[in-house]
Structure 1
């Protein structure tokens, strides 16, 4: 794990901002001391029982609730309201982060602490721990990250500092790669290359013609198997999103050999362009039209959820009122509430989830994560879910023409 970070002087600096809808006054470090909090199921989570800010009484503080996907992890930090002062960490590029655009990493949390996560096994385990053979050479440039301080006259709205930080973030993104690093291992813009093209989808059970891969995630990552970018943690990755018509452009790519990978929201599976892409200094490679054919053996009979690598459409229960973070009440990220795994046991105390296709509603009847059931002795047991569906005609051929497709959140 690689975790450079900054811890600020506490006076007045306890308003944290990670996104437009994820910002709040945070507890103080003393609130995590014995007598002021109750330890929960793991050391990072604590119930505030006697915080200095009384309005936080009864809330859960847990640094993992403030994690963020790499693709969205551009700016986060703190505001001191008197005098109005901001401290911000800006990461213009996530090319050096591991695990691809959907990998979750820590941001800011009680301290006030601000972290720059480069390598982390959080939410993934040993698959994202770099492994080296005896004598294997390796080097990688992490960063640089940009520390931005801003301020406003006393009496001005201190929360405007967040808006200013976002403006500065966009400036830094447009300035990447920086020209000032002296290391020869940090390639400047004229040493890098660019790749462009168009991604289309061919799924004849949906449309006989090509479909533009609208909003597809397209990236260059080290050569590997289909989907291997999710486990890659030793080199660099470069990602973008295709436009409405499937056109994409990946700029400022470091020299080297890559595979081009993609996935398209709304379609199952992963795409890999099988011919390696070699980036040289100053190259501008036009890939032309690339066609992704999603895996299938026949028409879809039924589907649970949306194949978009998110569990947002499934049922996320309300948290136990005794263990709540008010920031995430009625929030798109309500799945970050503490203790939701125990809510499954309350909903299914004896029998596991049974989903009936054509009757059940996945927004209400499909739990967002497959979790174990808590037993009376405080141990856990595995759960087995069932999907019931009718099938009027069954083919006895070795390779059935029917594709039974469901999207679970596990």
Structure 2
């Protein structure tokens, strides 16, 4: 028998393609040119140049968990397969080995422990091109992995038979004969709010991703991407692991990760399909992070940051979203993707903390997440912030400036960069809910309710009107001292090729269309919360307002199916 934790000489495929391997403990065996078998006493995988095409486990002895599906692979931007030219054991401990599969662009590591069903993965950048998406994924046996589960959705994957007579209306989105639509985007989620996700057969088998940290994910709290789905062309059960993504649900941006960047480690976990078991395993992983077995100085060297955010009117910034990202503030937090990133929410006193942060320089960003800050549309940016090994960087009290001389006339919706509070907004993801929004509506300030009378998105040709009152004395006073009104429009997303005119009492203020707004795919990819946030302001002369009843109008003049404007908040203020 071969020594433990060493490269095993070729034993031939026939002796290894079974529910357990012949080597004791974790092993790696080269079986041909760019062909390997590896695993432990509980599972083993057959790896080729790009695809791992066979997976056996003691959970289902003798059953190939890949079957006719494609198996495990990695790719760049969903198009360029990662090709492995060499594999070797690069580190080991008493009960584990670290196998590096080498390629031109990245090295993918499998860290295999004696008694673990599954393995830890991490990827190290060598020479990736400028990219939007980097991912690994399993495409597994559809006869075994019947269900998908995320922190939002837990359901049967659409049966493959449904796709036979369906019409593809966009990428992996199909309309059935009865008018219903199935789409992979209904399984999306916000990457920093995941617990665990995967595909499973209840009480039979499950394949799961557990990410104990989100430091290697791109973007801010509003970053969304794909998780699981049914592959329409083959029927494979797909378990996606998209950790680098500056494209889905936002205005895309290409980034070039630095050499040596580590994505991960995360845990790929196999079990009998029990969700309770995965929950327990996740708790164990959270308690173990950062992992002691990863012998990388930059990974192990960490510090912390603390601070308190206070608004200039004296309020604590309770519940604010706080993001630790790039020092380059010209890059939007939603598409920052070269560095490591951390998110948190301030507590009721405005205090926040970031433990276990990799050392280096960061930019700190904060914005309203609604609630007590629903009227706050300014933000905080502080850069650079240094994180030093073994130390806590105490930023103290940070001042959050509010615009001076502003008096609110009305506000529709909370400023939180999402559309959740409006009619039909929020979770779960669902395709084409925009079609349920009316073409015309009137929202009366002080009478109408945002939860029922203002919809999360406008799409159809027509006019949405906000009706509000201005006191005669107030109008005269503000006019006399030279004040103007300021209309602020906060959009949670915009998908072309929609166009709408904005007016006050019939006087055109401007046009919002793809000449001034770049499209994001949030609406047509099933999101009812956000795509990419935009903020537009129009100054209004008091002569365009009247004492008594006034209107702000939003008139859709160009319509494209499934597209439109996703709302966050609309403010009107006096500015002195």
Band the TM-score falls in, shorter-chain normalisation: 0.7 to 0.9
Give me the whole-angstrom Cα distance separating, in 2, the residues matched to 1:138 and 1:400: 54
- What is the match of residue 94 of structure 1? 214
- What is the match of residue 233 of structure 1? 337
- Tell me: higher relative CO, structure 1 or 2? Use CA pairs within 8 A at least 6 residues apart: 1
- What is the match of residue 288 of structure 1? 396
Task: Tell whether 2:412 aligns with 1:342.
Answer: no
Pairwise CA distance, 1:71: 1.8
Task: Tell whether 2:207 aligns with 1:124.
Answer: no
Map residues 208-287 of structure 1 onto 2, 5 A cutoff: 210-225=314-329, 228-266=332-370, 267=373, 268-287=376-395
Give me the whole-angstrom Cα distance separating, in 2, the residues matched to 1:277 and 1:397: 46
Q: Per the alignment, do residues 230 and 270 of structure 1 end up closer, same or farther by CA in structure 2, a change over 3 Å counting?
A: farther
- What is the match of residue 77 of structure 1? 198
Map residues 6-405 of structure 1 onto 2, 5 A cutoff: 6-19=138-151, 22-32=153-163, 34-35=164-165, 38-48=166-176, 59-81=180-202, 83-110=203-230, 111-120=236-245, 121-126=247-252, 128-130=253-255, 138-151=259-272, 161-183=274-296, 187-188=299-300, 191-203=301-313, 210-225=314-329, 228-266=332-370, 267=373, 268-295=376-403, 297-316=405-424, 333-334=427-428, 336-344=429-437, 347-348=438-439, 352-371=440-459, 373=461, 385-392=464-471, 393-394=474-475, 395-396=478-479, 400=483, 404=487
Q: Per the alignment, do residues 295 and 231 of structure 1 end up closer, same or farther by CA in structure 2, a change over 3 Å counting?
A: farther
Contact 1:263 1:271 in 2 (8 A): yes
TM-score of the superposed pair, with normalisation by structure 1: 0.75
Q: Per the alignment, do residues 294 and 108 of structure 1 end up closer, same or farther by CA in structure 2, a change over 3 Å counting?
A: farther
Q: Per the alignment, do residues 182 and 199 of structure 1 end up closer, same or farther by CA in structure 2, a change over 3 Å counting?
A: same
Q: Per the alignment, do residues 398 and 274 of structure 1 end up closer, same or farther by CA in structure 2, a change over 3 Å counting?
A: farther
- What is the match of residue 98 of structure 2? none
1:261-310 Cα offsets, whole Å, 9 max, x none, are 11233332353343521112222111112232334541222110112222
Contact 2:365 2:382 in 1 (8 A): no
Equivalent pairs counted in the alignment come to 347
What RMSD, in angstroms, separates the aligned Cα atoms of the two structures?
A: 2.8
Contact 1:213 1:244 in 2 (8 A): yes
Give me the whole-angstrom Cα distance separating, in 2, the residues matched to 1:117 and 1:333: 21
Contact 1:217 1:242 in 2 (8 A): yes
Give me the whole-angstrom Cα distance separating, in 2, the residues matched to 1:99 and 1:408: 18
Q: Larger C-alpha radius of gyration, 1 or 2?
A: 2
Pairwise CA distance, 1:23: 0.5
- Match of 2:244, SS? coil
Pairwise CA distance, 1:147: 0.7
Give me the whole-angstrom Cα distance separating, in 1, the residues matched to 2:183 and 2:450: 29
TM-score of the superposed pair, with normalisation by structure 2: 0.55
Give me the whole-angstrom Cα distance separating, in 2, the residues matched to 1:388 and 1:180: 62
What are structure 2's unaligned runs of at least 5 residues? 1-132, 231-235, 493-565, 567-576
Contact 1:303 1:406 in 2 (8 A): no
Q: Per the alignment, do residues 101 and 399 of structure 1 end up closer, same or farther by CA in structure 2, a change over 3 Å counting?
A: farther
Q: Per the alignment, do residues 105 and 397 of structure 1 end up closer, same or farther by CA in structure 2, a change over 3 Å counting?
A: farther
Pairwise CA distance, 1:24: 0.9
Pairwise CA distance, 1:60: 2.9
Pairwise CA distance, 1:353: 4.3
Contact 1:98 1:119 in 2 (8 A): yes
Q: Per the alignment, do residues 354 and 40 of structure 1 end up closer, same or farther by CA in structure 2, a change over 3 Å counting?
A: farther
- Match of 2:362, SS? strand
- Match of 2:395, SS? strand
Pairwise CA distance, 1:254: 1.5
- Match of 1:65, SS? helix
Pairwise CA distance, 1:113: 1.0
Q: Per the alignment, do residues 294 and 69 of structure 1 end up closer, same or farther by CA in structure 2, a change over 3 Å counting?
A: farther
Give me the whole-angstrom Cα distance separating, in 2, the residues matched to 1:124 and 1:141: 24
Contact 1:298 1:402 in 2 (8 A): no
Pairwise CA distance, 1:89: 0.5
